[in-house]
Amino acid sequence: MENKHATLTAAMEDYLKAIYELQATTGTTTTTALATALNISAASATNMIKKLAELKLARHSPYRGVELTTAGEKIALEVVRHHRLIELFLHQALGIPWDEVHVEAHKLEHVLSDNLENHIADFLGDPTKDPHGDPIPSKAGIIADRERESLADGAPGARVTIQRVGAQDPARLRYLRELGIVPQARVNIVAHAPFEGPVRVRTEDGAEHALDRGLARQIWVAEKSRPKTRVHAPRKMIKGSRQ
């Protein structure tokens, strides 16, 4: 049973992951979008796309875009699994705040052996969500569906449970944490200001906050509050606590 991709470079893994995520969020993957996501030039992206196509991990339609083959998607999901397991592990085992784990996981994901991956999954009890609420693909490559409703979609008056926070920017993540807007928190949608204005929500502590519409669109919710395993480490500080 040969391992076909034991030999992929970190760069290739990042490309596969980025293509996967662009495909999952925006539907397609253009060369420019990929280059932007990876902060490289479009020429570099084309170059790697052709290599991945050569390896049968992606299909390239020149001038039209890329998509992953089944083999490519499988590897992308393994990298995503690594990334999210690491994020959760750093958060749970070391108490590293949710706005700091992404940058660490981005490097560690490429040097995680199968052995270490298993130990971590074991330690965490085979978790299904990372600290941002993103689903962790199973070892077999099964991943939960994306939520379809954001805080910007919920009707005023709705009582929702935060499922996933799509924002990546550390400053925004710290801000949301301070407000108590983290996975599994309950919030009431108070109102949507007109002309794409802010979304007013009331958090569990009774406080009301106005969130930028763009930010609200990155916060995914469920109408019914389904209780889930706690993902967030307990806060250590008493007040003014930054997660």
**Residues near Mn ion (CB under 5 A):** 14, 87, 106, 130, 132, 134
Contact between 49 and 16 under an 8 Å Cβ cutoff? The reply is no
| Nearest residue to Mn ion, by Cβ distance, number only | 132
Residue 194 binding DNA, by CB under 7 A: no
- Taking the complex as a whole, the smallest distance from the CB of residue 82 to DNA amounts, in Å, to 17
Residue 17 binding DNA, by CB under 7 A: no
Nearest-angstrom CA–CA distance, 160 and 204: 11
Nearest-angstrom CA–CA distance, 210 and 226: 25
Q: Where are the beta strands (DSSP E) in 43-101?
A: 58-61, 65-68
Which one among 21, 23, 46, 190 touches DNA, defined by CB under 7 A? Answer: 46
Both tokens of 25, joined, read: 């969020």
Nearest-angstrom CA–CA distance, 121 and 102: 18
What are the CA-CA distances from residue 38 to residues 20, 110, 150, 236 (Å)? Answer: 13, 15, 26, 34
Q: Tell me whether residue 83 or residue 192 sits nearer to its own copies (CB atom).
A: 83
Binding mask 83-122 for its own copies (x = CB under 8 A): -------x--xxxx---x--xx--xx-xx-x-xx--xx--
Residue 191 binding DNA, by CB under 7 A: no
Residue 58 binding DNA, by CB under 7 A: no
- Taking the complex as a whole, the smallest distance from the CB of residue 69 to DNA amounts, in Å, to 16
Contact between 179 and 198 under an 8 Å Cβ cutoff? The reply is no
- Among Mn ion, its own copies, DNA, none, what binds residue 191 when CB lies within 5 to 8 Å by partner kind? none
Q: What are phi and psi of 75, to 5 degrees?
A: -65, -40
- Among Mn ion, its own copies, DNA, none, what binds residue 130 when CB lies within 5 to 8 Å by partner kind? Mn ion
Which one among 23, 44, 138, 203 touches DNA, defined by CB under 7 A? Answer: 44
DSSP secondary structure letter of residue 86: H
Q: Tell me whether residue 66 or residue 231 sits nearer to DNA (CB atom).
A: 66
HSE toward the beta carbon, residue 219, CA cutoff 13 A: 28
- Taking the complex as a whole, the smallest distance from the CB of residue 115 to its own copies amounts, in Å, to 7
Both tokens of 65, joined, read: 């875009």
Both tokens of 82, joined, read: 């690594």
Name residue 68's beta-bridge partners. Answer: 58
Contact between 85 and 101 under an 8 Å Cβ cutoff? The reply is no
- Among Mn ion, DNA, its own copies, none, what binds residue 103 when CB lies within 5 to 8 Å by partner kind? its own copies
Residues at the site binding DNA, with contacts judged by CB under 7 A? 9-12, 30-33, 39-51, 60, 62-65
Residues at the site binding its own copies, with contacts judged by CB under 8 A? 90, 93-96, 100, 103-104, 107-108, 110-111, 113, 115-116, 119-120, 123
